[in-house]
């Protein structure tokens, strides 16, 4: 059976190691952990991991990250091609940039977002595997991404049916796709699905989270660099555009690009050529581009913050994902799916969600969309002490602040309730009447 990848994680916090073992063990062959950096040489030689996740500080009285730089250097002495991801506290990006210039492959910040962490680690592990093994890992990565961000596009609402129809039509083509939607709606899931059903599904799928990529690292990460191009450039490195050639490049949060970054990206896309930093050699690229953002790029163009010519380049097809609050009973379909997933994960016998709890889920606005629902269900499964999840198991965001601004006019409240019930029932008036606690005839009369 093909190898699914091995990772060595080094951190002095045992709680962090436990969490990462729990997160990764089901999708990797081996997760090796240690709190002792002195063990790094032995563990690396003994297990030959495909990737190392290395903390930058191992003692609370030392916060200058020099320990991390020391062990990064030692690992590269053992294996100059080692794939190393540095882990640092949020806000300490300068040291992370320094680490990448010194030979690290990528970095993550604490506290991390589970989905982005898994995606980053899978991208790095893939580099350390053979071509055959990488194909198997890519499948594992897609499965992990789908499970964490909403599985596939579960839903029967009209808006989601339209999204699925768009994916079916656009995936087999070579058209560039722009995916729009609020945070947590599953834009990365759609990107993976388009790639999975494309003609280049067996080719690389390379993702870049532009929200976490500092401007001074943009060129080196996207276009690559040659050995000696800058201080600490100890070895040559291909950029993400080059790595994705023949396959798909997914640029997440493209709305975060600065004007300089937009200009350089557009030049590369127009010419289908890149040149690594420190090199005069021109390399041809051929990528299928998928971009995603929660920003209104058309509005950004009107305000001069986003290049119109770049927008034309990336949005041959636009797919807009609806927020969860507008998807009606899809909320319950997703919740039931997540209950089954987490009940198996935590070995709990849970039959489903009580009707009272279902009403609570349908009434909530879900500002964090599918991602928030996933975390809410996971917590509810852990807290559940009955055969089914009840209302109090769901700890949803406090809505008291919004209550102070609500309209209290009875006619307006009734009108709002009727519209909301019809929306949640996807136009099924019998179901809407049941939600409102009135007869179908009474609903007809109130609608008139």
Which has the closest alpha carbon to 65: 105, 32, 98, 19? 98
Q: Can you tell me the distance from the alpha carbon of 84 to that of 86, in angstroms, rounded to the nearest whole number?
A: 6
Residue listed under structure tokens 């690290």: 104
CATH 3.40.50.2300 residue spans of the chain: 1-149
The position carrying tokens 């709990």 is 348
Q: Which of 56-60, 181-185, 391-395 has the lowest mean pLDDT?
A: 56-60
Query: Which pair of structure tokens corresponds to residue 56?
Result: 């930058």
CA distance 141 to 245: 19
Closest CA to 300 of 319, 314, 288, 317: 314
Q: Report in angstroms the alpha-carbon separations of 446 from 237, 423, 426, 427, 429.
A: 67, 16, 18, 15, 12
Q: How confident is the model at residue 117 (pLDDT cuts 50, 70, 90)?
A: confident
* Residue spans in the chain of domains classed CATH 3.40.50.300: 154-321
3-state secondary structure of 144: helix
Question: Are 54 and 43 contacting, i.e. CB atoms less than 8 angstroms apart?
Answer: no
Residue with more model confidence, 141 or 332: 332
B/e letters for 57-95, b = 16+ CB within 10 Å, e = fewer, are: bbeeeeeebebbbebbeebbeeeeebbbbbbbbeebbeb
CATH architecture, domain defined by 407-447: Orthogonal Bundle (1.10)
Q: Side-chain half-sphere of 422: how many Cα atoms within 13 Å? A: 13
Give the residue-averaged pLDDT of 203-222: 88
CB 343, CB 381: distance < 8 Å: yes
Query: How far is residue 418's CA from residue 260's CA, in Å, rounded to a whole number?
Result: 49
Q: Which of 26-30, 321-325, 349-353, 397-401 has the lowest mean pLDDT?
A: 397-401
Evaluate the omega torsion of the peptide bond into residue 111 and state whether it is cis, within 30 degrees of 0.
yes
Supply the DSSP symbol for 205.
E
Is residue 226 pLDDT above 60, yes or no? yes
325-402 — its CATH code?
1.10.8.60
Backbone angles phi, psi at 128, to 5 degrees: -85, 0
Q: Which two tokens stand for residue 241?
A: 């555009």
d(C-alpha 10, C-alpha 143), whole Å: 26
Mean pLDDT across 197-222: 87
Radius of gyration of the chain (CA): 24
Q: Which CATH number fits domain 1-149: 3.40.50.1000, 1.10.3720.10, 3.40.50.2300, 3.40.50.300?
A: 3.40.50.2300
217-221, 262-266, 315-319: lowest mean pLDDT where? Answer: 217-221
Q: What 8-state DSSP symbol labels residue 277?
A: B
Give the count of beta carbons closer than 10 Å to the beta carbon of residue 258.
12
The torsion angles phi and psi of 179, rounded to 5 degrees, stand at -105, 120
What residues does 293 pair with on adjacent strands?
180
What are the tens digits of pLDDT across the range 420-448? 778 777 777 777 777 787 877 677 777 76
The whole-angstrom separation of Cα 102 and Cα 188 is 30
Residue with the bigger pLDDT between 8 and 346: it is 8
- Check: CB of residue 289 under 8 Å from CB of residue 314: yes
Pair of tokens at residue 121: 């680690």
**Could you give the count of Cα atoms lying within 13 Å of 438 in the half-sphere of its Cβ?**
16
- C-alpha 132/C-alpha 113 separation (Å) is 29
> Could you tell me if 284 and 242 are in contact, meaning their C-beta atoms sit under 8 angstroms apart?
no
* 3-class secondary-structure state, position 129: coil
Residue 145: what pLDDT? 47
Cα–Cα dist 294/252, whole Å: 10
State the alpha helices, DSSP H only, in 180-318.
Answer: 187-196, 215-222, 240-243, 259-271, 297-302, 308-314
Quick one: how far is CA 358 from the chain centroid? 27
3.40.50.300, 1.25.40.80, 2.60.120.20, 1.10.357.140: CATH of 154-321: 3.40.50.300
**pLDDT for position 282:** 93
Token pair listed for 245: 């050639």
Q: What is the 3-state secondary structure (H, E, C) of 28-54?
A: CCEEEEECCHHHHHHHHHHHCCCEEEE
- Is residue 196's pLDDT more than 80? yes
Stretch(es) of the chain classified as CATH 1.10.10: 407-447
Mean residue pLDDT of the chain comes to 84
* Residue 399: predicted pLDDT: 43
């Amino acid at each position: 059976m093909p190898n699914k990848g091995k990772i060595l994680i080094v951190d002095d916090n045992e709680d962090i190691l436990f969490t990462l073992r729990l997160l990764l063990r089901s999708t990797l062959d081996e997760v090796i952990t240690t709190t002792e950096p002195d063990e790094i040489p032995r563990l690396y030689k003994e297990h030959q991991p495909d990737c190392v996740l290395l903390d930058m500080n191992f003692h609370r009285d030392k916060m200058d990250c020099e320990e991390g730089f020391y062990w990064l250097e030692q690992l590269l002495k053992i294996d100059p091609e080692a794939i190393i991801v540095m882990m640092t506290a949020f806000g300490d990006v300068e040291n992370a940039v320094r680490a990448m210039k010194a030979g690290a492959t990528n970095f993550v910040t604490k506290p991390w977002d589970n989905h982005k962490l898994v995606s980053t680690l899978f991208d790095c592990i893939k580099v350390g595997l053979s071509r055959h093994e990488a194909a198997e890992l890519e499948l594992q990565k897609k499965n992990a991404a789908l499970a964490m961000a909403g599985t596939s596009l579960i839903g029967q609402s009209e808006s989601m049916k339209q999204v699925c129809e768009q994916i079916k039509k656009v995936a087999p083509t070579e058209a560039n796709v722009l995916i729009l939607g609020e945070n947590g709606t599953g834009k990365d899931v759609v990107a993976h699905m388009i790639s999975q059903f494309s003609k280049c599904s067996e080719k690389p799928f390379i993702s870049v989270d532009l929200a976490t990529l500092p401007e001074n690292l943009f060129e080196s990460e996207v276009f690559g660099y040659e050995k000696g191009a800058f201080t600490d450039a100890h070895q040559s490195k291909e950029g993400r555009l080059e790595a994705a050639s023949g396959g798909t490049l997914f640029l997440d949060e493209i709305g975060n690009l600065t004007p300089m970054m937009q200009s350089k990206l557009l030049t590369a896309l127009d010419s289908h050529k890149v040149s690594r930093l420190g090199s005069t050699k021109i390399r041809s690229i051929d990528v299928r581009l998928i971009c995603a953002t929660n920003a209104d790029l058309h509005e950004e163009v009107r305000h001069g913050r986003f290049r119109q010519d770049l927008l034309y380049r990336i949005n041959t097809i636009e797919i807009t994902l609806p927020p969860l609050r507008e998807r009606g009973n899809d909320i319950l379909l997703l919740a039931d799916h997540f209950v089954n997933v987490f009940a198996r994960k935590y070995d709990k016998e849970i039959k489903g969600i009580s009707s009272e709890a279902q009403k609570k889920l349908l009434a909530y606005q879900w500002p964090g969309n599918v991602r928030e629902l996933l975390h809410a269900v996971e917590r509810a499964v852990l807290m559940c002490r009955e055969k089914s999840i009840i209302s109090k198991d769901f700890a949803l965001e406090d809505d008291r602040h919004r209550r102070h601004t609500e309209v209290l006019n009875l006619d307006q409240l009734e009108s709002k309730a009727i519209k909301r019930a019809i929306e949640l029932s996807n136009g099924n008036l019998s179901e809407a009447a049941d939600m409102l606690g009135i007869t179908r005839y009474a609903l007809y009369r109130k609608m008139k």
